[in-house]
Amino acid sequence: MSYYNLKQSLSKIKAKPFNFALIEGKKSDMVLVTPKPAPGKLLDDTKKECGDGKRIAKGVCLKENGQIVFATRSAPMPAWKATLKKIFQEQKCAMFLPVELRQLGDHESDEVVNEDESGSVETETEDEVETTSLPPTPPPSATTTPKPPTAPQKPTTTPTSTAPKPSAPVSPMAEAAFKSRVNPLETNSIYAGIKNPALKAPLAKLLAEAKALGTQKDFTSALKKLDELEALLPKAPGHDATRPTPTGETAAMVGWLTARNDVLTSLRKLGTAIEAAKDPESGPAQLLLAAIGKNLTEKPATMQQVLALEKYLQTDDIIVEAESPNPFGVTIAIRTPLLNALAALKKQTT
């Protein structure tokens, strides 16, 4: 792209997210990263240069734990990661690799406008210096004597900043783990079936505290509250003993949910161990674990969703990385149990 500098745009991503548009064409591919939504002319010109190109994805591009992350409203396709890697290498942006993809949370916008950015995406150089032209100073009048300049008066008060202090960075892994646990726990048949107020009251208190911490983005503390709650739950409640064994499609879905929950539990266990190690280089590992959880659809209801999950589990390198032995002694099994569960679900899905 002769008039678009991807490297310069990526270098500007710091505290605030940018927008991105991923273009796929017959001749080449391109990703536009802009402080404001990319203007129509830039999109059209880029599509033309890519060769009858089409925009296949859009969302926000941001930095999380020092890594470039592309986030979209719907679950990102695994193939996008390879496309972005190729683009970065072609545009001499390999220093920003590896990149990660994830799905936007409910509270996150898929479009941003950075007012303090110029919004320009034309060719720029890092050596450009913005200058301001001042009007020429008129010569002193021949009939008047110029007055000596007066010293500027010092302000009587020192202004204080009212900007809020930046909060601690949110762990994507902890956020994903919290969201995957809090709602199922609240509707859990064991929790819902407790009638004894003496037992239900402290459980309800812990759940409320966990939700409040989640609202404040303190997901690590919120997860500890959920751990406390689960530890207090009865292990074999009587009201669950008479539940009928699900059959047909229900049995297949229960098999998937059970396998998925086992995977998320093991990922959460590994994530907790990584957090406890307090390794400053653990950011990419946390993002990897969070991405897996987000890509595992909770209840795939259509054949398209089932096939997409199957392809993701069979082809994405992120699964291989997660299943590799780790220094924390946590065994992660993802591909085999989930593919087995999907095979049963596939027979029941039309």
Mean pLDDT of the region 198-224: 83
CB contact set of 113 (below 8 Å; sequence gap of 6+): 35, 36, 37
pLDDT tops 50 at residue 298: yes
How high is the pLDDT of residue 87?
A: 93
The strand ranges marked E within 86-244 are 100-103
User: Where is average pLDDT lowest: 57-71, 216-230, 271-285?
Assistant: 271-285
pLDDT of residue 247: 47
Distance between CA atoms of residues 117 and 191, nearest Å: 50
Whole-number pLDDT of residue 317: 84
pLDDT above 90 as % of the chain: 19
Provide the pLDDT for residue 349: 78
CA dist 253 to 173, 247, 350, Å? 25, 10, 13
Q: Is the pLDDT of residue 34 over 80?
A: yes
3-state secondary structure at position 63 = strand
pLDDT, one tens digit per residue, over 316-346 is 888 888 888 888 888 899 999 999 999 988 8
> Of the ranges 22-26, 102-106, 126-130, 238-242, which is most confident?
22-26
Segment 275-302 shows an average pLDDT of 79
Task: Choose between 313 and 159: higher pLDDT.
Answer: 313
Q: Round to whole Å and give the CA distance between 345 and 350.
A: 10
pLDDT at 6 over 60: yes
Mean of the per-residue pLDDT values of the chain: 76
pLDDT band at 166 (very low <50, low <70, confident <90, very high): very low
88 by DSSP, 3-state: which? helix
Of 165, 172, 174, the C-alpha closest to 223 is 174
pLDDT of amino acid 160: 45
Q: How confident is the model at residue 148 (pLDDT cuts 50, 70, 90)?
A: low
Domain ranges of the chain: 6-103, 169-238, 249-350
Q: What per-residue confidence (pLDDT) applies to 110?
A: 87
Whether the predicted pLDDT of 22 surpasses 90: yes
Average pLDDT over residues 19-46: 91
What's the rounded Cα separation, in Å, for the pair 268 and 172? 12
Determine the distance from the C-alpha atom of residue 279 to the mean position of all C-alpha atoms in its chain, rounded to a whole number: 20
Question: pTM for the whole thing?
Answer: 0.39
More confident site: 183 or 188: 183
pLDDT per residue as tens digits for the range 105-124 = 888 888 888 765 544 444 33
Give residue for tokens 């795939």.
300
Yes or no: say if 87 and 79 are a contact pair by the CB < 8 Å rule.
Answer: no
Length of the chain: 350
